[in-house]
Structures are given as C-alpha cells and as structure tokens.
Structure 1
Amino acid sequence: MPASPTEPTEPTGPTASTGAAALVIGEALIDLIRRPGQPDDARVGGSPLNVAVGLSRLGVPVELLTHLGSDAYADLVTGHLDANGVRVAEGSVGPGATSTAAATIGPDGAATYDFAIDWALPGVPRRTPELVHTGSIGAVLAPGAEVVEETLQAVRGTATVSYDPNVRPQLMGDLHLARKQVEGLVGLADVVKASDEDAAWLYPDLTVADVVRHWLGLGPALVVVTRGGEGAYAGTVAEVAEVTAPRTTVADTIGAGDSFMAGLLAALSDAGLLGRAQEGALRSLAGEDLRRVLTFAAACAAVTVSRPGADPPRRAEMPD
C-alpha cells in the first residue's frame, strides 16, 4: 500500500491551477516499511492516495480529499502529492496526528499491515467532477465513512462513482457487518474493483464469478476482480471477460491493486466513459473495448510490481 519515496520528481500530472476531473476520497498515511534485518523505512502510502497518484501520472487531473494531521508526516504526504501533480482538497489538513501503517514485508514480497488510523472529514465536497473514487479504510471507518457515503449519494446524479473495498479484516470487525457495509457501497458505485483475496474474505463460499454476478445485481455497471499473477476477471450486464497478467519479475506486490484501479479508471476516461451522461455506454461496455480497458489496467499493475513500493507508471511508460 505504500507509495514510492518522496524524493523530488518532475510533476507529470496536472498543476494546482487546473480543474480536477477526478476526486479521490480516502486515507493518506505513512507506511513504516519493515524488512527482515533492515531499519524501518517511512514512506507515503494509503490505497486511495496511491490511486490518486496513479491517475495523475496517467494524465487524469485529480484531487484527493483526505485527513492529515499537523505534523512532519503530513509534510511528507503533501510533498509527495505535490510532486505528482495531485491537489489536496480543502479541509484535508487538521489537528491531530497523521495516520500510520506498519507494513512488514515477508520473504515472498507480500505485505501485512498494522494500522494507527485517524479518519475524519470536514463534510461533503462542494465540487463534483466527472469521477469520484473511494475505497479501503476511508470508506468504512467512522466517523469519516459517513461523509464518504453522503458524498457518493450527493454526486451520483452527475459523476461516475468507483469503489475498491481493499479489505482490511483487522479493521473491519465482524464479517457480516463488514459485508453489509461493503455491499452498501457497491450499490452506490458504477465501477467496482476488488482482489480475489477481498472476495474470498467477504464471501468464503462463493467463486470469483459468483461474486462478480452478485455485485452486478446490486447496481454497478462494471465489476472486476483481480487475481494476482493470473490476471483479472470482469463482468458487465453485457458479458464477462478475462485477461492474463503480463509476465514480469516481481519486486513486491505493494500498490499493485491500486495501480490496476488507476489504470482501469484512466482507460475508461480515455474511452470517454466517465460522467453520468455516459452511464449507458459504460453499462454496455463489451467485447474488445472491455478487454482493452482490462489489459491496460493489468499492464499498469505489472509495471508497479516490477519495482519496489507503490510506484505506478507514468503515461509515457505505457504502450499506446
């Protein structure tokens, strides 16, 4: 879940003077990376933040509504966002501490997390872009989760809504209550992306295909379940599709799902499928158009896993 280190880089996304085509709502935090035999490494992270950075690097103007404290960790976060062309939404910085997550990297490169999260939001944003994305901890953790839900309800008339559960069992409590909360957000979304691990925790008795079918029945136009090195499985009301994951050497899996999410949304933006006026076209997405969107998202994730940390690709790194 962590992002790449915050050394100065050339901003590749929009500047603060441009309007945001996308609003991402969710946690921004500091990941304390722990590898065997090495000192802790503090990096900027948070699944929604990673999605915002991924969108900006792919050329989608984006603003992040989050909760940051008034501390040195907040400076690391805002510096990273600024370097990647992501605007910080008004009201995101307040009193208290910036959230942290200790990420322990195992021998296989996979990460496990221990969280210290402070999640509150100032209220429903006044601006409505063509895309509003949320997910992970910020979509389900009180008190900020109430503002997230209110925002999704408020923007549905004009914006495409996307959601990534990015399940964190240690923070979500009872499975049945968590499932109800996730399904409520799925029902508000047009585009949903989850991992096969998310699906297995939420629905231990269902297959990936069953979960996709169930969620489509709740209202979304497109549901995608990623399957790590095996690619992704997706469904719309028109058809189902599968894509394979590109072959690559895996450095670690940090941020792979967030990069896939950003790539998926950027590809939908490229295809002119975002915004409520495009809902009909999004719902009828099928055939090669559907596979093209999924293939681009999978390629973005493959770039990310090929290098350490959540370091999503820039548009220039992706094939035309």
Structure 2
Amino acid sequence: MADVLVVGEALVDIVQRADGSGADHPGGSPANVALGLARLGRDASLLTRIGTDAHGRAIREHLEASGVHLVDGTVVDAPTSTATALVDAQGVATYHFEIDWRLDTVPDVTRYDALHTGSIAAILQPGGDAVLRLVEQASGRVVVTYDPNARPTLMGDPVATRARMERIVALADVVKVSDEDLAWLAPGEDPVDVAAAWQATGPGIVVVTRGGEGAVAVQASGRVEVLAPRIDVVDTVGAGDSFMSALIDHLDGAGLLGTGTRAAIAAMPADQVAAMLGHAVRVAAITCSRAGANPPTRAELDV
C-alpha cells in the first residue's frame, strides 16, 4: 500500500441551510481528500495548518479518528481557518472563507509514493508558493495528483488564477477538475476541450466531473465517460474531494503509485479508466447522500 502525502488547508465548514438549520463540520478540500483515503483503508498523511483552539482540536480528532496521520508542524499557535457554506434548497453549497494559509514545515516529498494538493492551498499566499515548490520537487519522482477546486472569492482574477493552476497541471500525473471550476476559469470554452488542452501539457489523465451527470476522463488515446448513480442529494459538500480520494484509491489498488509509474498511468486502458471513474462517482454519490464532507469507509462500499 502506497504512502500518500496530502498538502493543503484543513478548516471548519460552518454549514447554514436554506431552511435555517445548520451544523459545523471539519473540512477543507485537501483534508477531505486525506480523510477519504484513510476511510478507504489507504495510508494518508496530511500537511496542513490548524490551531490549538476548539476548531483545531475538532479537526485533529476528526481526522485522527479515521486514521489520517498529521505531519509534524501541522498544529500551530494561531486561529484555525473556517469556511461558511451556504446551502440552497437544491443542496448546492457556496462558500465564504476566513483563512490564513502558510506552511511552517516543508518535508521531503520524495519520501512518499504520491503527493496530492489543490484548492486554496495551491493559490493563496504565502503558502501557495511553498506548495508549488513541493509539486516541482515531486514531479517526475512520485505521482502527483491535483484538483484546482476553484474558489473565486479567494482566488481573485480568473485569468491569473488559471495561469497559476496550469503551471501545476503541467507538473501533475492526474488532474481532476469540475465543470463549475472551468466555467469560471474558462468561460465560454467547452470543459472537455480545456481538459484535452491541459492533458497535452503533461498529465496522463485529466478528469472533468459533471455533478449528477457523471465524469469524463481525457487521455492522449481518447476519452472515457461514465454516468453518476441517481440519488437523493442532501448536499454536495465534499463530493468532489471524495471523488478525488477515490481516484487515488483506485491508482493505489492498481499499483500505480510510486516511482516509475508515470507512463503506466498515461497508458491506462479504457476499461481500467472506466472502472476508476465508476468507483469515484459511487464514492462521491454516497457523500452527497448525507450531510457534510462525510465520505464512505471501505466497509460501506463492500456492503
């Protein structure tokens, strides 16, 4: 089993629903990916930044309860970041953030078999530059996965943000991006065409998620599409993160994490890519069927 390092923000999602109800949930896109991997039985370490306050303790307990390893230096004497998720009547969330992102510890990423990052952590300064350096160190040595997970309220100008994201895309082996991300980053452009252009710059596979419509993967050899299962949606909080963790989980199960697997990922046959996407949409659907970023365990999938 591979050792996966996830780098990025951990925070508390303060969920406020249209009917006036709400709750607080530990979250943050990279933290959710680490959580999803651990619940699927994978070895996941998280490099993040949380405080010693009540929110920080809640995050730490939440992650460690599922088996996530926190990298030394993750807990600091500073407030823990928060994201307020406003959930509409259809269960779709929009976010408002209070976040301070920086890295006080920078490990040797080549000690791991894979590096995952994305979302706010790869863009927001001063931590964003440290994340980029880690990706540069890892690229070509271990498997790099990336989820841009655009947050317009924090990321500013979409043109500049897209240019920054595309630097990381070119260094990655697998990229997952939502059609909503691309609607902001590349307005008027077909999401799959953008994915194809990204794939040509370096990654072996670029996956576009389409919410309830499923997902499509773009490789140099062609495209593979799967539909999502039909469910009753509670909310979409953490769904994309669960999808991402399932992609990494499949790669691990196929022996495609570690040194020297870059070409094999790019050359995955269509049936294996379809199986990977099918696994990912199922995991994401289960997350959407319950409140908050609450991904399934391996035991739940095996039922």
Q: Where on the TM-score scale, by shorter chain, does this alignment land: which range?
A: over 0.9
Q: Which residue of 2 is the match for residue 285 of structure 1?
A: 268
| 1:99 matched residue in structure 2 | 81
Equivalent residue letter for 1:189: A
Indicate yes or no: 2:149 matched with 1:180. Answer: no
- 1:95 alignment partner AA: D
Secondary structure at the aligned position of 1:277 is classed as coil
- Residue 219 of structure 2 is matched in structure 1 by 236
Shift of 1:249: 1.5
Alignment match of 2:191 (pick from 205, 208, 229): 208
Residues 234-282 of structure 1: CA deviation (Å, up to 9, x unaligned): 1111221100001212111111111110111101111111123111111
State which of 59, 63, 68 in structure 2 corresponds to 1:77: 59
Alignment match of 1:166 (pick from 149, 160, 173): 149
Say yes or no: does 1:89 pair with 2:53.
Answer: no
- Name the CA distance, whole Å, in 1 between partners of 2:131 and 2:137: 10
1:60 to 25, 42, 54: 42
Q: Output one character per residue of 1:171-206: Cα deviation in whole Å (capped at 9) or x when no partner.
A: 111111111111111111111001100011111121
Query: Does the residue aligned with 1:273 lie in a helix, a strand or coil?
Result: coil
CA contact (8 A) 1:250 1:307 kept: yes
* In 2, Cα distance between equivalents of 1:248 and 1:193: 22
- Per the TM alignment, residue 20 of structure 1 is displaced from its structure 2 partner at its CA by 7.0
Percent identical among aligned pairs is 47
1:42 aligns with 2:7: no
Partner of 2:129: 146
Q: More deviation in 122-131 or 183-192?
A: 122-131
CA distance in 1, matches of 2:266, 2:114: 15
* Equivalences, count: 302
SS class of match (2:260): helix
1:157 and 1:183 map into 2 onto residues whose CA distance is 17
- Residue 233 of structure 2 is aligned with which of 250, 253, 256? 250
Residue identity in the other structure for 2:83: A
Give yes or no for contact 1:124–1:150 (8 Å, CA) kept in 2. Answer: no
Asked whether the equivalents of residues 236 and 286 of structure 1 are also in contact (C-alpha less than 8 Å), the reply is no
Cα pair 2:200 2:220 within 8 Å, conserved: no
Post-superposition offset of 1:39: 5.5
TM-score (norm 1): 0.91
Structure 2 unpaired stretches of 5+? none
- 1:104 aligned partner, one-letter code: L
Contact 2:287 2:294 in 1 (8 A): yes
Q: For residues 39 and 235 of structure 1, what CA distance do their matches in structure 2 show?
A: 40
Aligned to 1:267: 250
| SS of residue in 1 equivalent to 2:187 | coil
1:98-117 correspondence runs (5 A): 98-117=80-99
Root mean square deviation, CA, Å: 1.5
* Structure 1 unaligned regions, length at least 5: 1-18
Matched, 1:28 2:10: yes
TM-score of the superposed pair, with normalisation by structure 2:
0.96
Residues 152-161 or 235-244, more deviating: 152-161
